[in-house]
Chains A and B, each alone.
Chain A
Amino acid sequence: MVPQTIQLKIKRQDGVDAPARWEEFSLPYRPNMNVISALMEVRRNPMMTDGRRTTPPVWDANCLEEVCGACSMIINGKVRQACSALIDQLSQPIVLEPMTKFPLVRDLLVDRKRMFDALKRVHAWVPIDGTYNLGPGPRVDPNVQAVAYDLARCMTCGCCLEVCPQITPTSTFLGAAAISQVRLFNLHPTGKMHARERLEALMGEGGIVDCGNAQNCVHACPKEIPLTESISAIGRQTTGYLLKRMFGG
């Protein structure tokens, strides 16, 4: 049977030091809605089920096509993108909460700066000589491209960090996303010339040894990036590098 209304339950919090509260909304059902369009409906009429008015809820979103990574939140207990969370596939009431492993800004909006900082720490780039016309790039085996492309689709959404038991608001673990990016850049013909710097970064504090092998990350990734494969691959690379360094290879 098609439901007539959509029941939404949103965890609200005005700021990091403010108390959290739950607000419930009842919206008219329309086909093909997702969580974002439901939130938009609330914004157009911010009236709770009990008839009290409230402020429009705050959330993060941009592309709404699951390529920008902005709209991660916890929906019915599971961290995922709100844009691809279709109302017809969710049990009601639909419960929306902010991610818990990142500093809260307001309502469903959190600050994922630590993920971008991690990319800086592991040197997640191909160091090119310059943007001048230096001719074609290196040839790449199509099979290597296929592996690289899968890794390159990481949108820094934070789902893998949210589900990782090793990540806490105060822990220094860089997390699966950054480790997988190291694998990506160490795969590239030019990137691999600088593999050492990235491996060194992952051998330091918060690096690969902090991974507890819970394997939650790979199940949470909305892009199905083989994160545990990346962690194993980088584990082998760091071991190899360590041996080389010890025995002067």
Chain B
Amino acid sequence: MVAQPKTIVVGGGLAGLMTVIKIAEAGIPCQLFSFVPVKRSHSVCAQGGINASVNTKGEGDSPQIHFYETIKGGDFLANQPLAKGMCEAAPGIVYLLDRMGVPFNRTPEGLLDFRGFGGTLFSRTAFAGATTGQQLLYALDEQVRRYESEGLVEKFEYWELLSVVRDGDGVCRGIVAQDLRSMEIRAFRADAVCLATGGNGVLFGKSTLSMVCTGSAASAVYQQGATYANGEFIQVHPTAIPGEDKHRLMSESARAEGGRVWVPKDGKPWYFLEEKYPRYKNLVPRDIATREIYYVCRVLKLGVDGKDVVYLDLSHIPAETLDRKLGGILEIYEKFVGDDPRKVPMKVFPSVHYSMGGLWIDYEADRSGDIVVGSPRNHQTNIPGLFAAGEVDYEYHGANRLGANSLLSCFYAGMLTGPAMVSYAKGLERSCETVEPSVFETERKRQEQACQRICALSGKENPFVIHKELGEILTDNVTVVRYNDKLQATDNAILAFMDRWKRIDINDAAQWANQAVSFTRQLWNMLELARVVTLGALRRDESRGAHYKPDFPDRNDNQWLKTTLARWTPSGPEFDYAPVDISLLKPEMRKY
């Protein structure tokens, strides 16, 4: 038994911070590592809101309906007990966030206001203008700062995770990380480690994600033996502003507040989503809306001015309502495009947005399918002592995530992972302090040598150019519409990129704040992960949620109601498949 264990959380977005809070609340010290100051984490980009079936609008909503819609939205690929636990915990989570001071929008009576969102007909989404993620992250950042000032939390900002340290039995005993200023590489001991390092949209070059969301940390531990699950399920959000540096999200809440999607046809607006989906209209789940927009632009060639553009129209809604409920995104559109969406329809197109897949994690449920809170199995990867929480894990969303469920899943993941790490660490037979120093020194040396090899790269290739090309081919072939020949060609291209990587000219010898070295390391990790995404898609011959193959247009539960498991080998990912826990809801046709 370890009385006072040491813990490490890597990543300071919503999931990471909530994990830290739960650990600190148990009186256990925690070291928090982050690539950026945690207040600048990607969670700030979430706009629309957080789901919780509080049913304050007399609509008859309930956590059970939320659970059903989450599973159906994910095309029945999600393991059901965790999703159920999340939906049941949601009202309490929103109340807690409210207590922390999140400035949620209010009803005239001073209660929390809720709005509609994709994949539901209920008003279930609490929101703070259209910058809900920013407000939620700040609330957790503030609570963690409070623990930091009490000495329970120690932050390492501008540090990059390089690897985890595994002892002779394969148990995770700490991490190796690099200070991105001094470039010093150090090993840190811990009894339990959590990765909360977010998504991998930067694989695709331009996406709605922040620059740090490369998936590099997840890829690093995948290369150390962590199983990566459902990597082929990538969400492409229907509405984003195409940009030169990134695509900027235009929240689903725009449609929840009455925004309409259309293109001109025969001289008149054609509201194609409303026509095809009379019940859900513009709020069909994201995978469906995105495919419809692709069909209209690419097959019917009816995009605005013949381009990959559709209108997202708010101009019929009173400006005062828009300012109060959507101010944040209107400001983004005005600042980055220069037009006023209160007056003219916005020009948008789908963009890579979220990874449903991620590191495989375990959970413990009782016989009625209720999650056992505090079980060390919850959110633990297949590497003992290594946990994963947030977008970096593969749970909750199946083959497609519903809008406003990501903030919720991050938060719930943290509420499970913190206690799981504490009980796992306390139950260890021996503390990380008793592990031989050579275990840490060997891994630190390995990383130092890898870094030296990167610093010595002196070919002709530019890492940022390789990344751009990777993003382009992945976006073309491994997003909305997938064909096996193109997926195979993409994997061949990735192998060629890996070859070119070895001929990079690092072009910066500085031993201080060297971003080229860090990016080049991450680029390799991105290439490894890109193979998991691409080959996972190649193998899955069906269509389910965000994964769509015109040559296999139907969902095939007989063969493919399975979780994809990828395991790293030197010659590429090896795939295996595991059954999905469908003990609570029977799969049915997914119709909207």
Using a CB–CB cutoff of 8 Å, the interface residues on chain A facing chain B are 14-15, 30, 32-34, 36-37, 40, 43-46, 53, 55-56, 58, 61-70, 83-84, 86, 105-106, 109, 112, 116, 119-120, 123-128, 130-131, 133-142, 145-146, 148-149, 152-153, 155-156, 185, 188, 190-191
Contacts and interface: CB of A to CB of B under 8 A. Distances in A.
Which of A69, A137, A138: most chain B Cβ within 10 A?
A: A137
Contacts of A34: 243-245, 336
Given A56-B515, A149-B129, 9 more contacts: A14-B510, A34-B243, A44-B462, A46-B507, A63-B211, A67-B134, A125-B143, A140-B106, A190-B101
B103 A62 contact: no
Contacts of B513: 15, 58, 105-106, 109
B405 interface: no
Contacts of A45: 462
Nearest to A16: B512
A149 B332 CA distance: 17
Interface stretch (B108-116, B427-435, B542-550): B108-116
Contact of B99 (A56, A120, A124, A126): A126
A70 B210 CA distance: 11
Nearest to B144: A125
Nearest to A120: B149
A65 B45 contact: yes
A14 B513 CA distance: 9
Nearest to A84: B335
Which of B44, B149, B212, B245: most chain A Cβ within 10 A?
A: B245
B39 A69 contact: yes
B128 A62 contact: no
B44 A68 contact: yes
B96 interface: yes
A191 B308 CA distance: 48
Contacts of B25: 130-131
Contacts of B338: 86
A32 B149 CA distance: 44
Contact of A136 (B95, B335, B468): B95
Given A126-B142, A131-B22, A152-B103, A66 B335 contact: yes
Given A67-B45, A137-B95, A33 B244 contact: yes
Which 4 pairs from chain A and chain B are nearest by CB?
A: A137-B98, A139-B110, A125-B142, A126-B101
20 contacts: A44-B462, A55-B508, A56-B515, A63-B210, A64-B246, A64-B248, A67-B45, A67-B131, A105-B181, A124-B142, A126-B100, A126-B139, A131-B25, A131-B415, A136-B95, A137-B99, A140-B106, A142-B110, A149-B135, A153-B131
Contacts of B99: 126, 128, 134, 137-138, 190
B192 to A, nearest CB: 19
B245 A64 contact: yes
B245 A185 contact: no
A241 B44 CA distance: 35
B481 interface: no
B129 to A, nearest CB: 6
A68 B131 CA distance: 11
Given A58-B515, A64-B211, A106-B513, A43 B464 contact: yes
Contacts of A106: 510, 512-513
Interface string B32-72: 00001101111011000000000000000000000000000
Contacts of A62: 36, 40-42, 210-212
Interface of B: 21-22, 25, 36-37, 39-42, 44-45, 92, 95-96, 98-101, 103-112, 128-129, 131, 134-135, 138-139, 142-143, 145-146, 148-149, 181, 210-212, 243-246, 248-249, 324, 328, 331-332, 335-336, 338, 415, 462, 464-465, 468, 507-508, 510, 512-513, 515-516
Contacts of B248: 64-65
Contacts of B516: 55-56
A188 B101 contact: yes
Contact of A125 (B95, B146, B335): B146
Nearest to A181: B142
A33 B245 CA distance: 8
Contacts of B465: 44
B510 A125 contact: no
A112 B103 contact: no
Contacts of A67: 44-45, 131, 134, 328
A129 to B, nearest CB: 8
Nearest to A127: B146
Given A55-B507, A55-B508, A68-B44, A185 B211 contact: no
A62 B96 CA distance: 28
A151 B173 CA distance: 42
A120 B148 contact: yes
Contacts of B332: 65-66
A125 B211 CA distance: 28
Contacts of A109: 513
A125 B145 CA distance: 8
B40 A68 contact: yes
Contacts of B104: 145
